[in-house]
Amino acid sequence: MRRLLCLLLCLLMLLVWPGVASAADFKINIGISRQDDGTTCGELFVNDRVVWRIAVLADGAKPVTRGAAGLLPGLRPIL
Strand partners, 57: 60
Q: For residue 9, what pLDDT band results from cuts at 50, 70 and 90?
A: confident
- For the chain, give the percent of residues with pLDDT over 70: 62
Helices (H), the chain: 2-23
pLDDT at residue number 79: 54
53: in domain: yes
- Structurally, how many domains does the chain consist of? 1
56: in domain: yes
DSSP 8-state secondary structure symbol assigned to residue 40: E
72: in domain: no
Phi, psi of 37 (to 5 degrees): -85, 5
Q: Could you report the per-residue pLDDT of 26-64, keeping only the tens digit for each? A: 777 888 888 887 788 888 888 888 888 887 776 655 555
Q: Are 76 and 65 in contact (CB under 8 A)?
A: yes
Residue range(s) defining the domain that contains residue 21: 2-63
* pTM score over 0.85: no
Which amino acid is located at 70 in the chain?
Answer: G
pLDDT at residue number 34: 81
Is the Cα dihedral 58, 61, 67, 68 positive or negative? negative
